[in-house]
Amino acid sequence: MSCSYRDLLVWQKSMALVTAIYQETRSFPKEELYGLSSQMRRAAVSVPCNIAEGQGRMSKKEFNQFLAVSRGSVLELETQLQIAADLGFLSADNAQQLIRKAEELLRMLNGLMGSLAR
């Protein structure tokens, strides 16, 4: 665990997803500013923040706990993306593209958690 969290590909990809979520939610209806848009942004931001905080902890066990929180945020975001698509705030194509990115993050988090368990 001597490398920086910035060196972790999962952190880099989660940062890219944050940017994509912010860009997509800009076009949401203004009444969603404090609703779904805000929730999606918070869930997306939670992923890289928890990866970074966990990597800075003193044990693999603590890091794993923060990765589990990141994993939960990814799943929350996937659900919110589906809701946004169902409500017509996102096109089905854009929603699926973002969901695929979230699924990739989930696989990467699962892999990292598995490697920490060994």
**Tens digit of each residue's pLDDT, the chain (118 residues):** 458 999 999 999 999 999 999 999 999 999 999 999 999 999 999 999 999 999 999 899 999 999 999 999 999 999 999 999 999 999 999 999 999 999 999 999 999 999 999 8
Residue 82: per-residue pLDDT: 97
Structure tokens at 105: 């993050």
Residue 2: per-residue pLDDT: 56
Residue 1: per-residue pLDDT: 47
Domain 5-117, CATH homologous superfamily name and number: 23S rRNA-intervening sequence (1.20.1440.60)
- Sketch the domain layout of the chain as residue ranges: 5-117
